[in-house]
Amino acid sequence: MTLTNRDINKLKEVFATKEDFKNVLTKEDAKAFATKDDLKNLLTKEDAKALATKEDLRVEIFLLREDMRKFPTRDEMNLRFNEVTNSIDWLMGTTQKTFDELTIINERHRRSMEQIENHGKRIGHLEKSPL
């Protein structure tokens, strides 16, 4: 298959040409980009030596995993959470029972005090009245 002039003209319409690229990036625009020398100074060999190696990272990951084993797992945390909530539920139940009992005791005490006052009034009245 050979390319005809018609095909070439069609390709020029679709693809960018060298002339098209000349207008896209000027020399002033290009000065804003980093040069090879800029990149050489970006990271020196001494800087690279200070970075962690793969072996350093493996050791750190191993140590981190060892440290993480000291902490409880999610299941252990859920179990502990359930124990705590059950204890709180028990404590709330006990507190409510105590409150209910105190309410009953206070009501009985109030009634007893009313009876004692009533008896006191009646005794006082009997002592005052002549026989």
12-28 residue pLDDT tens: 778 877 777 777 777 78
The sign one gets for the Cα dihedral 34, 37, 38, 39 is positive
Backbone angles phi, psi at 31, to 5 degrees: -65, -20
> How far is it, in rounded angstroms, from Cα 55 to Cα 62?
10
Contact 114, 122 (CB under 8 A): no
Record the tokens describing residue 40, joined without a space.
């050489």
Task: Give the C-alpha separation, 113 to 102, whole Å.
Answer: 16
Q: H/E element holding 61?
A: helix 54-68
Give every residue of the chain whose pLDDT is below 70, as ranges.
Answer: 1, 131
pLDDT tens string 93-109: 999 999 999 999 999 99
